[in-house]
Amino acid sequence: MKDYLELKKHSLPNHEERPFFKALKLTAKEHGYKGFMARPRFLFRRSLDYFLQFISRIVPYSGTRVKLHRWRGVKIGKKVHIGPMVTIDDVYPNFVIIEDGVSVAGQNFILTHNKPLEYHKHLSEAFLAPVTIKKNAWIAIGVIILPGVTIGEGAIVASGAVVAKDVPPNTLVGGIPAKVIKEFEMKDGVPVGFKKL
């Protein structure tokens, strides 16, 4: 899959409901599709992404889910587990990087874009930004990861957390918004317990 946009933070236009063909033209341009057949190419890619995302949520085997998300453009390392009912951004899956040894439990959302209504343009920024989950991080069940976040190497994100800012390596974070709860005690590069407070 070809990346049409550079993997960095981009400003986006705010959301405004439009007729299908006008929306298709603007959205194809927003995604970086140019030249001959830009709209049909984008529509095909968007439809394929939707289908692969749908199937990935229900197949019973993690290895198949990983392959389906790779086909969508998600950059996934080796020995990665992705649980059932995981939603990896429907619109910009290629802005998600999951490094080696990561475990993403079920019913998680990983989002790479924020697109508030035109009405709210002075209250919330419309943008696209990559999400990176570093090596050996564990994302527990029911987590929401917001755009532009990096989960540090070896970190644990507790169930139900909403991650709105970067997570330091080798820490346990939880809550809404997620905050550091504990740091790991490390020995020979492996966590052996939690540091005493």
Rounded mean pLDDT, 162-176: 97
Supply the pLDDT for residue 66.
98
Supply the pLDDT for residue 97.
97
* Entry field: residues in the chain: 197
Helix (H), strand (E), coil (C) string for 47-109: HHHHHHHHHHHHCCCHHHHHHHHHHHCCEECCCCEECCCCEECCCCHHHEEECCCCEECCCCE
Rounded mean pLDDT, 105-132: 94
Question: Which domains are present in the chain?
Answer: 19-190 (2.160.10.10)
Give the pLDDT confidence of 143-163 residue by residue, as tens digits. 999 999 999 999 999 999 999
Task: Give the predicted TM-score (pTM) of the model.
Answer: 0.92
Percent of the chain with pLDDT over 70: 97
CB 66 within 8 A of CB 76: yes
Supply the pLDDT for residue 3.
60
Handedness of CA 17, 20, 25, 30 (dihedral sign): positive
Supply the pLDDT for residue 141.
97
Supply the pLDDT for residue 197.
63
Give the pLDDT confidence of 23-81 residue by residue, as tens digits. 888 888 888 888 889 899 999 999 999 999 999 999 999 999 999 999 999 999 999 99
Instruction: Name the pLDDT band for 196 (thresholds 50, 70, 90).
Output: confident
How far is Cα 85 from Cα 90, in angstroms, rounded to an integer? 13
